[in-house]
Amino acid sequence: MTTEMARPALDDRRWKALGVCLTAGFISLLDVSIVNVALPSMERGLGASEATQSWVVSGYALAFGLALAPAGRLGDLRGRRQALLFGLAVFTAASVACGLAAGPTWLVVCRLIQGAAAGVVAPQTSGLIQQMFHGAERARAFGFHGSVVAVSTAVGPLAGGLLIHAFGTAEGWRWVFFVNVPIGVAALIAGNRLLPRLPVPDIRREKFDPFGVLLLGAGVLALLLPLVQEQQWQGRAKWLLIPVATLLLGAFWMWERTRGRLRKAPLVDLGLFSLRSFTLGALISLMFFAGLTTIFFVLSLFLQNTAGYSALAAGVTILPFAAASAVGAAIGGRLVVRYGRSLVVIGLSGVALGLLGVVVAVQLVPGDGVGWAMALPLVIGGIGSGLTVSPNTTLTLTLVPVRRAGAAGGVLQTGQRIGSAAGIAVVGSVYFAHVANHGRSTTALQLGLLTATAIILVALVLAVADLRERRAHPGRDGLTAAVPRALGESGAGEKAGRGA
């Protein structure tokens, strides 16, 4: 009797703990986009130069991306609960420091710290989901996680616009950071009480890999810098960092293989890439985020600079995408058990269709009414986004051993950050090149969105190829012809992962 009563309480506690993880993930991802609409306010209130504004945005993305893989491994070694609470505490403190910044340098330094803390938090959320849930429950939990990813990315401009509108252009930018504080404090208190003290596996005795961290960090930095600074660094010399990044990442790969042969714990378990589900899922995620992030980038620029919308109005216009993404992700978390990779194909098709719909809408309805005209295509694209993020994350991590869940989540999200930076660089170049040659116009937006659509279609081709391969060769990666069955059986992913 006592055991039967304790089980529902334990289940309820797990879902509450999930709420803490998702809250921490929400505010860390929200800060990727919320500052974009606050940049003019920083210029007026703090005297922030263009270089400072650039580093407020790109510095966060850089620090975020650099911290992900080492932080994921750290969570695997020392415990994900402790790592998440530590990252959340630093993120909250850095948010206070950003809001109190007395000068541009202060703001940039604190923003870098905030980004690194967000990079510590992010892989722990997916790792804890892997550890706390199994089977269909895990798919449902990743459905909620996908909703948070989609909504936090899309709702940033709206939240920033509301805060600037409420507190004024001179000081409103400070509240873009202060808004994190009550949420972060509440999540810390709840997390300390609700996050389970899950056992840390025997890999706790394994040593960290500082040289691997150095090689990976330098490689990711060399890769990301020219991408996030593409508009600020003039000339072509910046692209010389790409081959440097290739050499560094190649050296990292060889170093990790050597450690593996010597039976020393690697920073990134290269065996993860022998899992077809992980490799294809990571590539799909990289390409999808390369297209997804750019949508809000060019739409925000077009609505404010060409259509004459305020920051708040621009945020409201993009809101249908965010709301639809949340709904799509919740549905996707449930349906992935039944439909597997087919759901990702449907989702990516919906995103591409929605973007093409926006291209047509801005052509047919120029002027102030363009926001209403693009509402339905944004809803279609948003639902597609939700049906992509959540199921793809679930399928990508299904066979990953729980003991490597943090590192796998770090690798997956590092790819997402690289994809986002690369997408903005490519689409931004297309958009700004047309603006420079022809002035601000609807055509600049259309060309940008068509480029984003082409990137999304690459992800779609990968998903279709993976789906066809699974149907032709059932049983790959230890999964049956229906990945869903593996997800539907409690603990199947973990068992398969241990045998991989």
Asked if 51 and 329 touch (Cβ cutoff 8 Å), the reply is no
Closest of 122, 126, 154, 141 to residue 325, by C-alpha: 154
Q: What are the tokens at 477? A: 């990666």
- Tokens 């407020």 — which residue? 56
Other CB atoms within 10 Å distance of the CB of residue 250:
12
User: What pTM did the predictor assign?
Assistant: 0.78
Span between the terminal Cα atoms of the chain, in Å: 39
Asked if 331 and 347 touch (Cβ cutoff 8 Å), the reply is no
What's the one-letter identity of residue 473? H
In degrees and rounded to multiples of 5, residue 475 shows phi and psi of 100, -5
pLDDT of residue 205: 54
pLDDT of residue 206: 58
Cα separation, 26 vs 8, in Å, equals 27
Closest of 420, 390, 408 to residue 22, by C-alpha: 390
Q: What are the tokens at 154? A: 């899309």
In degrees and rounded to multiples of 5, residue 42 shows phi and psi of -65, -40
Q: What are the tokens at 271? A: 């065996």
pLDDT of residue 379: 94
In degrees and rounded to multiples of 5, residue 197 shows phi and psi of -85, 75
Cα separation, 197 vs 13, in Å, equals 12
What count of residues does the chain have? 500
pLDDT in tens, the chain (500 residues): 433 334 444 467 888 888 999 999 899 888 887 887 787 788 888 887 767 777 887 788 888 888 888 888 888 777 889 999 999 999 999 999 999 998 888 999 999 999 999 999 988 988 888 888 877 788 788 878 877 877 787 677 788 888 888 888 788 889 999 999 999 999 999 999 988 876 665 554 556 678 888 888 888 888 878 877 776 677 788 888 889 999 998 998 888 888 877 777 677 777 778 888 888 889 999 999 888 888 877 887 788 778 888 777 877 888 888 889 888 888 887 888 788 888 999 999 999 999 999 999 998 887 778 888 999 999 999 999 989 988 888 888 887 777 777 778 888 888 888 888 788 778 888 888 888 787 777 888 899 999 999 999 999 999 998 888 777 766 554 443 334 444 444 343 344 333 33
pLDDT of residue 169: 79
Other CB atoms within 10 Å distance of the CB of residue 223:
20
Report the Cα 390 to chain-centroid distance in Å.
11
Cα separation, 439 vs 433, in Å, equals 9
Other CB atoms within 10 Å distance of the CB of residue 261:
8
Half-sphere exposure for 49 (CA within 13 Å, toward CB): 5
Report the Cα 269 to chain-centroid distance in Å.
21
Q: Where are the alpha helices (DSSP H) in 265-340?
A: 276-301, 311-339
Q: What are the tokens at 461? A: 């081709």
User: What's the alpha-carbon Rg for the chain, to the nearest Å?
Assistant: 22
Asked if 24 and 187 touch (Cβ cutoff 8 Å), the reply is yes
| Residues 346, 351, 354, 360, Cα dihedral to 10° | -120
Closest of 64, 169, 187 to residue 120, by C-alpha: 64
